[in-house]
Amino acid sequence: MGSIAFPLLLSFKIALIATAIALALGLWLAWVLANVAFPGKEWLDAVVTLPLVFPPTVLGYYLLVLLARSSPFGKLWESIFGQPLVFTWHAAVVAATIHALPLLVKSARAGFESGDPALLRAARSLGTGEWRIFWKVTAPLARRSILAAAVIAFARSLGDFGATLMVAGDIPFRTQTAAIAIYDAVEAGNTRIAGVLTLILSAATLLIVYGANRLERRI
């Protein structure tokens, strides 16, 4: 039973945390891309989009190099938390976040840019700070796009395979997510476990997307 429950719970845990991080990071990036003029802006957009078009192994390899124990970031992490980042479920969160980010940024940027620019100007002329404008005007008006972005981020985080496998590995009861467990089960000829995991994952994803669509129409 644990061989089904653990990967599922781990996947959802990773997806939830990754969605939260991706939302915070992605909304900020999207806002910057939509509102601030700076040189190299479209390059930043392109870099953010890369994970969408990279083969998962390329993305995974980049992350592996970036987060490895010998890398500056890896050393920093280890000095703070006392253990390496790679091949833990934390690394899977990083992979899922990066995997989720591009579509989230695209969707949120489109939402921010479709707003009436006169509203932003009005808010600024009223003496309002940017932070308050974001929370009181931009975000409420783009709430549909933001919700859609969050759902996409969650679904993408839940489904990541390649990058997660490369940075977090396939350690049963440690870093083995549902997507990886399905691959393992099929490899081992265990179609029952693969089938159950697939069904549960499908049903959960379907419910989330359906629920989000319902919610989107009401708000």
Partner 1 sequence: MSLSVRLTRNFRPAADSAGFALHVEFTAERGITVLFGPSGAGKSLTLNCIAGFEKPDSGRIMLGDRILFDAEARVNLRPRDRHCGYVFQSHALFPHMTVRENLMFAAERHPRLERHRLVTEMLERFALTEMAGRKPANLSGGQNQRCSIARALITSPRALLLDEPAAGLDVSLRSELSDVLKQVRDDLEIPLLLVTHDVDDAMTLADQVLVYTDGGIVQRGSADSIRTHPANADVARMFGPTNVLDAEILALDPGRNSSRVRINGTELNARYLPGHFRGDRIRMNARADELIVHGSRGENRMELRLERMLARANFIELRFTPELVVFAPRHDWEKFRDGREWYVEFPPDSLRPLGEA
Interface size with partner 1, residues (CB under 8 A): 17
Show the tokens assigned to 175: 């870093």
* Residue 118 touching partner 1 (CB under 8 A): yes
* Residue 116 touching partner 1 (CB under 8 A): yes
Q: Residue 75 or residue 124: which is nearer to partner 1 going by CB?
A: 124
**CA torsion sign, 124 to 130 to 135 to 140?**
positive
Q: Residue 65 or residue 119: which is nearer to partner 1 going by CB?
A: 119
* Residue 122 touching partner 1 (CB under 8 A): yes
Q: Residue 80 or residue 219: which is nearer to partner 1 going by CB?
A: 219
- Which region, judged by CB under 8 A, interacts with partner 1, from 24-32, 40-48, 66-74, 131-139? 131-139
Q: How far apart (Å, rounded) are the C-alpha atoms in residues 59 and 65?
A: 10
Q: What is the DSSP string of 102-145?
A: HHHHHHHHHHHHTS-HHHHHHHHHTT--HHHHIIIIIHHHTHHH
Show the tokens assigned to 201: 């994952």
- Which region, judged by CB under 8 A, interacts with partner 1, from 41-49, 86-94, 123-131, 190-198? 123-131
CB 146 within 8 A of CB 111: yes
- Which region, judged by CB under 8 A, interacts with partner 1, from 44-52, 121-129, 153-161, 188-196? 121-129
* Residue 121 touching partner 1 (CB under 8 A): yes
Side chain identity at residue 170, one-letter code: D
- Which region, judged by CB under 8 A, interacts with partner 1, from 57-65, 69-77, 122-130, 189-197? 122-130
* Residue 75 touching partner 1 (CB under 8 A): no
Q: Identify residues 138-157 at the interface with partner 1 (CB under 8 A).
A: 140-141
Side chain identity at residue 120, one-letter code: L
* Residue 124 touching partner 1 (CB under 8 A): yes
* Residue 36 touching partner 1 (CB under 8 A): no
Q: How far is CA 139 from CA 20, 97, 111, 191, 212, in A?
A: 16, 21, 9, 45, 17
Cβ density class 158-190: b for 16+ within 10 Å, e for less? bbbbbbbbbbbbbeeeebbbbbbbbbbbeeeee
* Residue 137 touching partner 1 (CB under 8 A): yes
* Residue 123 touching partner 1 (CB under 8 A): yes
* Interface ranges with partner 1 (CB under 8 A): 116, 118-119, 121-129, 132, 136-137, 140-141
